[in-house]
Amino acid sequence: MTQVIGTENYDPLVTNTGEELEVTAATQNADIQLFDFYVDLLSALIWQYNNATTLQSIIQSKQDWYDANQKQFWLDFITNIFDLSTANEFGLSVWSIILDLPLFQNTPYNPDLPTFGFGGANGAVNFDNGILQDSNGSTNALPLNTKRIALQLRYFQLTSSGTVPEANRMLKFIFGTNYGEAYLRDFHDMTQQYIFNFPVSWDIAYIFNNFDILPRPAGVASSWIDGTLTTYFGFGPYGNQFDRSILGPS
């Protein structure tokens, strides 16, 4: 779709020759024009210098420097920092600050929590009185790929309105290639549910349950399920026998 660029008063912007400035709106990532980082210094040589080997060698050396310090620098910047699907630890740390999302799990020390284990100090020699709890608490970083997923979800959460079509496009973009099918159901009663038709690992389940990063409209209650789990061991109010309980993740 082509649109005319206008001013704050909706008057069209025009060039010096009176032509209106037009832009084509991007509707998908493939519509965004990629920037060409390549610099071809050898193209500056005119035909008179075709046999000037010394000059060509000097310019070729400069070309090699540009390839390593200009072209490759920006390609690495996109891969390691800018692109959330491929960013390394440093790039993800930058995005963590930008998107205000922690990439670690803090477990504070709880002196009232019985700790399983054995120990000889202070008479802690029996169960539930052991020394296996870290007295200073602990901090555990999320796995690398889980960080990428968390930050992508956070980005979509901040930039989308949370509608079902938007959410389903987001789920396909993040999970479709490497994990499997995932989609959002709207129950039309101010509730919704994300369904993941692939085994949800513990680390992904952790960010779903603790980071609140699955997009949802304001005021809508949201939940998620692992669609590969059809029955759960245990008992429930309406499950009076095995495999009819309510112990699955909600």
What is the residue extent of each domain of the chain?
1-33, 41-82, 104-141, 144-226
Geometric angle at alpha carbon 241, from 239 and 246, rounded to 5°: 35
Residue type, 76: D
Residues 6+ apart with CB under 8 A from 176: 182
pLDDT score of 227:
85
The secondary element (H helix, E strand) that includes residue 192 is strand 191-196
Lowest mean pLDDT among 126-135, 146-155, 174-183, 188-197: 126-135
Which one has a higher pLDDT value, 34 or 124?
34
Residues 142, 228: Cα–Cα separation, whole Å: 24
The secondary element (H helix, E strand) that includes residue 248 is none
* Residue 127 pLDDT > 80: no
* Residue 144 pLDDT > 60: yes
pLDDT score of 7:
62
What is the average pLDDT across 112-137? 54
Residues 145, 210: Cα–Cα separation, whole Å: 17
Alpha helix segments (H runs only) across the chain: 53-66, 72-77, 89-99, 144-159, 164-175, 202-210
Residues 145, 80: Cα–Cα separation, whole Å: 13
Lowest mean pLDDT among 34-43, 74-83, 220-229: 34-43
What tens digit of pLDDT does each residue of 152-171 get?
A: 999 999 988 888 998 999 99
What is the average pLDDT across 145-151? 93
pTM, two decimals, is 0.65
What is the average pLDDT across 209-235? 81
Q: What is the average pLDDT score of the chain? A: 77
What is the average pLDDT across 228-248? 53
Residues 6+ apart with CB under 8 A from 119: 125, 129, 130, 131
Residues 112, 127: Cα–Cα separation, whole Å: 15
